[in-house]
Amino acid sequence: MNDALAAQASKDLQQAERIYREVVAIAPDVPDALHMLGVLRFEQGDCKEAAQLILQALDLTGWRFPTFRYNLGLVIARAHDEQAERDRDSVIRRSRASGRENTATNDARPTVAVVVPCYNHARFVKRAIESVFSQTYRQIEVVVIDDGSTDDSAEVARRTLADSPFPSRFVARENRGATTTINEAIGLSSAPFINILNSDDWFSDDRIALMVEHVVASGAHWGFSQTAYVDDRDHPVDPRLDKRAGTLSAVAAAATDRATVGFSLLGGNPAISSGNLFFSRALFQRIGPFGSLRYNHDWEFSLRAVRVAEPEFVPAPTYYYRLHDSNTISGAIGDGGMSEANRMLTEFFRWASSEQASANPLAPTMRTWGMYFVCSCLNSGWAGLFEAEELRRLALEIGAGGADRDHRVRDRRT
C-alpha cells in the first residue's frame, strides 16, 4: 500500500494501479486498497469500475467512512454530468421563456434602511458609518445599535451619527448577541429595503445605488455583491497571497460559476457576511428573522430566502470585508461552525429533496433541477446527506467511461 500511494503521489498512475491490483489480489477484503484503487480509476476516467470498487469498500466498512462516501459522490456526479447538463439547460430555457414577475416594489427609488449592529469595534465603527454618509444614493435611513460594547464603540458611534445627513437612530444597551441586535435594528427601521452593515466593515460609495439598480429594478427581493478584503489598517488584502482571503474568495466565486446564484449557496456562503445582504422587508417578514446561530446566521438566512426568491448578484466589489483577529468567520471553519452548517444544510436538503413546490421557480431543488441538483450536491461534498441505498442506485446506473473534467479527490487513507 505504501508503494502504491507513493507511485500515485508521483503521478505514476500505471505503476500505482499495478501495485493496487496486486494488493487486492492478495487481500480482496482490504477497504483501503479497494477505495484507493477506485480513486485511481476515477482519476483515469473509468467511473464504472471506480464506483464498483468504492462501493465494495463502503460495504466492507458499513458505510462508516465519510471520505469513501464523498469520493463515491464525486464519481456519481461525473458519470451523470450529461444528464445533469440537460436538466440544467431545460430549466434555464423555461425560466428565460417565463421571465420574472416584478413583485418587489413599484417605487424605483425606495428608501433603504442601513442597520449597523456594533460590538467592540471602536477602531472601526466610524469608518463604517461614514461609508453610509458618502453613498451616492441618498434615500437612506440609519439605525445603529451598540450591543453592550466594553470599549468606546458606543461613544464613537454616537458622535459619528451626530453628523448624519440621513434620518438616524442610535440605541446603546446590554449585550444580547449579534442576531438579536440585527433583528432589533431591522424592527426599529421602516424602509421597504434593508442592508445590514457590520461595524468593522464598510460600503463603497456606490454600494446602495448598485444594489437598488440590480435588485429593486429587476423585481428581485434580495441579493448581494462581490466582496473586497481589507486588513485592520484599511489596506487591501490580496486573495492570492492571504490564506483566509483566498478561501473566502473561492467560496464567493461560486456566485458566478453555478447555473444560478441560488445554487452557489449549496457549497458555502458566497455573500461572505451578513453585511453584504440587501433584501426587502417583505422577504424578511415572510421568511422570519435571523436565527440565533453563532457563525452561520447569514448563510442560514440566505438558504431560507432562496426557497421563496432568487437572489441577484452584483459583479462589483461594493462590500469591504475586514480581516482581523476577532472575525467571527474564523470560528465558522472550526467545530462549532461546522456543526451549525451540518444542521442547517441537512434541513435544507430535506426540503430541497422533497416534492414540495417552491415559490422560487429557480430554487435549487430536486423537483425543479433533477440530476443537476443531485450532481451539484455531490460535487459540494453533500454525499453524507444521501441515503446509502440512493447512492448505491445512482452508482449502479453508471456506464463505462466518464467526463475528462478534473475533480478534487480525497485520497486520505482511513
Tens of pLDDT along 121-143?
Answer: 999 999 999 999 999 999 999 99
> Which strand (E) or helix (H) includes residue 389?
helix 388-396
Output the DSSP codes for 58-126. Answer: HHHTTT--HHHHHHHHHHHHHHTHHHHHHHHHHHHHHHHHH-----S-S-SS--EEEEEEESS-TTTHH
The domain that contains 177 carries what CATH number?
A: 3.90.550.10
The domain that contains 56 carries what CATH number?
A: 1.25.40.10
Q: Are the beta carbons of 133 and 164 closer than 8 angstroms? A: yes
Model's pTM, two decimal places?
Answer: 0.88
Is the pLDDT confidence value at 412 over 50? no
Domain of 38 in residue numbering reads as 2-80+371-396
Strand partners, 314: 225
Q: Which residue has the higher pLDDT, 62 or 355?
A: 62
Cα–Cα nearest to 190, from 204, 169, 207, 161: 169
pLDDT of residue 122: 97
Is the pLDDT confidence value at 407 over 50? no
Question: Per the structure block, which three cell numbers stand in for 90?
Answer: 431545460
In this prediction, residue 414 has a pLDDT band, given cuts at 50, 70 and 90, of very low
pLDDT in tens, 144-179: 999 999 999 999 999 999 999 999 999 999 999 999
- Total number of domains constituting the chain: 2
Q: Are the beta carbons of 301 and 312 closer than 8 angstroms? A: no
Q: Are the beta carbons of 67 and 39 closer than 8 angstroms? A: no
pLDDT of residue 216: 96
Region 323-337: mean pLDDT is 66
Burial class (CB in 10 A: 0-12, 13-18, 19+), 5: middle
In a domain, 10, yes or no: yes
Residues 246 and 375 in one domain: no
Spatial distance between the Cα atoms of 266 and 70, rounded to a whole number of angstroms: 15
Q: Are the beta carbons of 380 and 27 closer than 8 angstroms? A: no
pLDDT of residue 352: 96
Cα dist. 291→155, 304, 336 in Å? 28, 10, 15
In a domain, 322, yes or no: yes
pLDDT of residue 402: 42
Region 356-377: mean pLDDT is 94
Region 100-121: mean pLDDT is 82
pLDDT of residue 406: 43
Is the pLDDT confidence value at 255 over 50? yes
Residues 73 and 190 in one domain: no
Residues 340 and 392 in one domain: no
pLDDT of residue 408: 46
Residues 159 and 279 in one domain: yes
